[in-house]
Amino acid sequence: MDLNEALTYVEPHLKKARFDHTIRVVETAVQLTGLHGGNQKKAELAGAFHDYAKYRPTEELKRWILKENLPKDLLSFHYELWHGPVGSILVEREYGITDAEIKFAIRYHTTGRDNMSQLEKMIFLADYIEPGRNFPGVDKVREVAQTNLNEACLMALQNTIPFLMSKNQRIYPDTFYAYNFFMKLHDHEQEERGNG
Ligand code: DGI
Ligand code: FE
Ligand code: FE
């Protein structure tokens, strides 16, 4: 499947603004792949499908989580966290995408997780910094993303976690696992530079 084919499958499932966001995520992920290395074809497909399940009714998302091999604890967190995991199931069932790297990049694009792959980082970060986003602090993350992928992911989490806390939202454990993973990489980098 190439990018154009993927986009023709995705488009009918998304609102116009969400489809435009999807295209910007693909473009940003491809750009990050050029800068930091990685498989461009996989970045295109993972980017194209990352929000595929975004507009499924919450009842349907819940049914998929119960039926498939996905963590049931998702159901005690905000339904916004369900579209990634369910999307990773639907792309295989509906379009035969079995590539584990692509499926993981879709699955973990909202929260991140421990030991994220290069592709997972690309999609997680592209979703956060695509040019349509205007979160406070996003420009700094965009700048750092040009030179240091891990540090940029860390900064995104350092923005998102306090933001969720300020909204009295529960924070999914994988979000903390991702934060600790990137913080550990940050500390190691500091030590290597002799600043630890
Ligand atoms: O689907 P998008 O809007 O492009 O972006 P997304 O999938 O990154 O995020 C969906 C929402 O999920 C966003 O408002 C941030 C939020 N989120 C991320 N991590 C957590 C979270 N919400 C909760 N409650 N807990 C989390 O750990
Ligand atoms: Fe999303
Ligand atoms: Fe998105």
CA–centroid distance, 191 to ligand 1, in Å, is 32
Quick one: pLDDT band at residue 141, thresholds 50, 70, 90? very high
Mean pLDDT of the chain: 97
Return the ligand number nearest the Cα of 48.
Answer: 3
d(CA 187, CA 101): 26
DSSP state, 104?
H
pLDDT at 194: 86
Ligand 1 binding pocket (C-beta < 6 A) is 51, 54, 77-78, 80-81, 109-111, 127, 160, 164, 169-172, 175
Residue-number span of the structural domain to which 70 is assigned: 3-195
Sign of CA dihedral 193, 139, 149, 158: positive
Q: Is the pLDDT of residue 58 over 60?
A: yes
94, 14, 141, 100: CA torsion to nearest 10: 0
How much of the chain, in percent, has pLDDT values that exceed 70? 99
- Nearest residue (by CA) to ligand 1, atom 26, is 171
Q: Is the pLDDT of residue 196 over 70?
A: no
CATH number, domain with residue 182: 1.10.3210.10
| C-alpha closest to that of 84 among 115, 47, 116, 114 | 47
- pLDDT tens-digit profile of 124-140? 999 999 999 999 999 99
What is the total count of domains within the chain?
Answer: 1
What token pair was written down for 25? 């995520």
∠ CA 105-107-108, rounded to 5°: 70
CA–centroid distance, 194 to ligand 2, in Å, is 38
d(CA 55, CA 78): 15
d(CA 42, CA 50): 12
| C-alpha closest to that of 157 among 94, 195, 98, 108 | 108
Residue 122 near residue 138 (C-beta atoms within 8 A): no
Q: How many residues does the chain have?
A: 196
CB neighbour list of residue 126: distance below 8 Å, 6 or more residues apart: 25, 26, 28, 29, 32, 43, 47
Site to probe by mutation for ligand 1, drawn from 50, 79, 88, 110 as the one with most ligand atoms within 8 Å of Cβ, is 110
Sign of CA dihedral 189, 191, 195, 196: positive
Could you list which residues have their CB under 5 Å from ion ligand 3? 51, 127
Average pLDDT over residues 7-21: 98
Q: Is the pLDDT of residue 6 over 60?
A: yes
d(CA 44, CA 21): 13
Average pLDDT over residues 159-185: 98
∠ CA 118-13-161, rounded to 5°: 45
pLDDT at 29: 98
Q: Specify the pTM.
A: 0.97
